[in-house]
Amino acid sequence: MKQVLLVFLGGGLGSVLRYLISKPANLFFHNFFLGTFLVNIIGCLLIGFILGLSSRNQLLSFNTTLFLATGFCGGFTTFSAFAFEKHSFLKDGELFNFSLYTIASLAVGVLAVMGGLWVSKYIR
């Protein structure tokens, strides 16, 4: 039960932070959904860093990793919003923005995970 509560609390905190970041950013760049892009990339970087710390250096306990990676990052990142926004591009016939957003999100997301893992190597 403790682990479920940790995921619940982490997810709630991640969701609130996602809202606070993505809403204002999406208002300024409404044609690209910059807020969702940013939180997904930041979330990829964070989960790479967290899981890197957890597996390489064992600086994080299982419960801390569960709270941060599964809970916080799970609530913070927004794949459902990402999919809906891509649908909006297709519906509006914006194939360039659809392609750019999809490729950039995947490529930069994977690079961010790799970056988080790399940075975690240097934490002792």
Q: Which residues are annotated as a binding site for Na(+)?
A: 74, 77
Report pTM. Answer: 0.81
As a whole number of angstroms, the distance between CA 9 and CA 106 comes to 27
80 near 88, Cβ under 8 Å?
A: no
As a whole number of angstroms, the distance between CA 43 and CA 116 comes to 10
Question: Which pair of tokens denotes residue 65?
Answer: 């990793």
Please give the share of the chain, as a percent, with pLDDT higher than 70. Answer: 99
As a whole number of angstroms, the distance between CA 14 and CA 101 comes to 22
**Residue ranges of the domains in the chain?**
2-120
Using only the alpha carbons of the chain, give its radius of gyration: 16
Q: What is the pLDDT of residues 54-85, one digit of tens each?
A: 987 778 999 999 999 999 999 999 887 788 88
Q: Which residues are annotated as a binding site?
A: 74, 77
